[in-house]
Chains A and B, each alone.
Chain A
Amino acid sequence: MKASAAGACRPARVRQGRRPQPVSVVSYIIRRLIGAVLTLLVVSMITFGIFYLVPRWVGASAADLASRYVGRTANAEQVAAAVKALGLDKPFYVQFWTWLKAIFVGADFNTGTSIEHCPAPCLGYSFIGRNPVWPDLLDRLPVTGSLALGAAIIWLVSGVAIGVLSALRRGSFFDRTAMGVALAGVSLPIFWTGIVCLVIFSYGLGWTAPGGTYTPIEQNPALWAYHLILPWITLALLFSAAYARLTRAGMLETMGEDYIRTARAKGLEERTVVTRHGLRAALTPIVTIFGLDLGLLLGGAVLTESTFSLPGLGKYAIDGIIASDMPKVMGVTLLAAFFVVVANLIVDVLYAVIDPRVRLG
């Protein structure tokens, strides 16, 4: 064999970057976490600002605001006491700082008969019920988590499967029907499908559990799954439709790529071509969107929780908003923002892991 051309006259080789080294990944994550903290700070400031400023722009005074958190026949003295108790007369930065400080060092609270210390992270006491917010959030997180994760698995698997099949059988009866059903699934509001499904499957046929039933997984895993089956499917229907369409589009694009032709030219089975070469590439954007969707959903699947009466973070947020209960809303907002930020971070790192062409930072 003739000495290869790479002997005498070697062109300067440009190293185009190797796979991300462990050290650089770690430093990237640290940088992002710092950014995450700043983001959370800004988000909470904006939310707090909305609660604080908007009523004042309409001309409401601290007393006017406090009157929402007292009894109906409260007199001026009671309203003044509420203003003081809730700190509504303090300027914006003082109120915000108090709230912020409590997250790190906790706060003291007068129950009437004693002084109770609320340990860090203390997200305040709800204005309406005077319960501490953080234990409520912890209590409701597993519910939202159960709902979100279960539905996520269902919609990911079903959506991708249907999308792949539709792409492979493009234009067929299956494809057109599946995409049509998908369009309906995306369009139908969940508070309608949920109620109708409850009436048909829970009360009519008795196959699934009534609304409002929830069993923690540690208590009885089988019952936990049984109670969540209907909410899972109803919530997944919405997303599954979107993911089917997304996967289909991604697959159609990927299957037209040159490397698919190469794979076939190597003599690979069509099944291997579709999954290892086609789906693997098409799935990358799907996985990242999945991470983002899941992060958002962990902040509370508001409509699903309200329709199925699941005591999760979404319902908690709605209750707080309707009652103008600021600490509740601040607590949920912060937690939801945290999940979204973390999800974004995970998704970015994951993308770099999946696609070797992507560089972090």
Chain B
Amino acid sequence: MPGGHSFLDVRDLRIHFPTDDGLVKSVDGLSFALDRGRTLGIVGESGSGKSVTSLGVLGLHNRRNAEVSGEIWLDGSELVGAQPEAVRKMRGRKMAMIFQDPLSAMHPYYTVGVQIIEAYRVHNDVSKAVARKHAIDMLGRVGIPQPARRVDDYPHQFSGGMRQRAMIAMALSCDPELLIADEPTTALDVTVQAQILDLMRTLQQEFNSALIIITHDLGVVAELADDVLVMYAGKCVEYGTATTIFEHAEHPYTWGLLGSMPRLDRAVTSRLLPIAGAPPSLINVPSGCAFHPRCVYEPRTGGLGSTVVPELADAGGGHLVRCHLPTAERRRIWAQDIKPEMEGA
């Protein structure tokens, strides 16, 4: 539940980019909380602000280009207003990130071992020999065979899956308490994807870390997440436990995401339900509810959808929804229209 002192507490985070074309509001009032040992899945389309949020938590935005406001509390320290040097010291140690494409995210000129050693020695004053042993150790723990030999290989000498494991090893080398994984499996084959997700779950349990998975793939969310946050146009539009979201989602956008997800338990003849329209401009965000131009239920809001920005309201038991439709109405639509369609009746 937002508010209170969780391990990670984001309050009203806003990240805006002034450009020549206007102010890009990538993240516009985002709040969530996460405890250690739990996994949060953040889902949304491209441009919804997911990656910007994660970079914001790590403090990787260039303050010359971005306006960051709000609060980010990590284990009792506030990050947005903190000195950049203090935040840097936490990067890699208290919080770490895994990126989408491990081939471009790792330096091509240095061996994997060197890069892991570097990550380790930034925060730990040890000799190179000790760090190297630790690197080999980490590579073994992420499931790379013959780690003592592979530690001297270059990133381009690994296969896709192995490379992602190596990046995970690098991110975890300093035992971070918060791990953010930005589309960790998007660049991988499906079979490898499963292995990586498996690995991440295992490691999270082992380290008891807080894990944020950012993805557009609900299947990944279903695998790993305890809680789910759906983002649209820089705002949270729905938040709840994974069970809640998958079993009784209440936002039309979430319905669209669920509907457009290919599922094996659906009849072959039923069609996917794509969401009509295109992602909104973040400079000229649609008035009222940002989703309203694409929402088929907008006429039922009695004009509110296009004029008033809906608030994030509790629909019961910590399930937050940002929508003008009354709760009863939403539940009815879910039970009668959406769910049967999804199950392929």
* Residues in B neighbouring A112, C-beta threshold 8 A: none
Contact A11 B145 (CB under 8 A): no
* Residues in B neighbouring A18, C-beta threshold 8 A: 153, 157
Complexed CA–CA distance, A13 and B196 (Å): 17
* Residues in B neighbouring A264, C-beta threshold 8 A: 60, 88, 91
**B161 within 8 A of partner (CB):** yes
Q: Please tell me the size bucket of the interface on A.
A: 20 to 34
Contact B143 A258 (CB under 8 A): no
Query: Which chain B residues (96-114) contact chain A, with CB distance < 8 Å?
Result: 96-97, 99, 101, 104-109
Cross-chain contact of B157 among A2, A17, A261 (Cβ < 8 A): A17
Contact B90 A267 (CB under 8 A): yes
Contact A5 B194 (CB under 8 A): yes
Q: A11-B192, A355-B108 are in contact. Are A267 and B88 (CB under 8 A)?
A: yes
* Residues in B neighbouring A181, C-beta threshold 8 A: none
Contact A4 B109 (CB under 8 A): no
Cross-chain contact of B91 among A15, A267, A354 (Cβ < 8 A): A267
Contact B118 A266 (CB under 8 A): yes
**By DSSP majority rule, is chain A's interface helix, strand, loop, or mixed?**
loop
**B324 within 8 A of partner (CB):** no
**A280 within 8 A of partner (CB):** yes
Complexed CA–CA distance, A4 and B168 (Å): 14
Q: Which of B198-206, B262-270, B284-292, B308-316 contacts A (4 or more CB under 8 A)?
A: B198-206
* Residues in A neighbouring B153, C-beta threshold 8 A: 18
**A205 within 8 A of partner (CB):** no
Encode contact with A along B109-141: 1 for CB under 8 Å, 0 otherwise: 100000000110011000000000000000001
**B93 within 8 A of partner (CB):** yes
* Residues in A neighbouring B97, C-beta threshold 8 A: 262, 265
**B43 within 8 A of partner (CB):** no
- Least distance between A358 CB and chain B CB atoms (Å): 10
Contact B156 A356 (CB under 8 A): yes
**B13 within 8 A of partner (CB):** no
* Residues in B neighbouring A14, C-beta threshold 8 A: 159
* Residues in A neighbouring B99, C-beta threshold 8 A: 258, 261-262, 265
Q: Which residue numbers of A lie inside 8 Å of B, CB to CB?
A: 1-2, 4-6, 9, 11, 13-19, 257-259, 261-269, 277, 280-281, 354-357
Q: List 13 A-B contacts (CB under 8 A).
A: A5-B195, A5-B199, A11-B161, A11-B191, A14-B159, A18-B153, A261-B105, A264-B60, A266-B122, A267-B119, A268-B118, A281-B109, A357-B108
Q: Which residue numbers of B lie inside 8 Å of A, CB to CB?
A: 55, 58, 60, 88-93, 96-97, 99, 101, 104-109, 118-119, 122-123, 141-145, 153-154, 156-157, 159, 161-162, 167, 170-171, 191-192, 194-196, 198-199, 202, 206
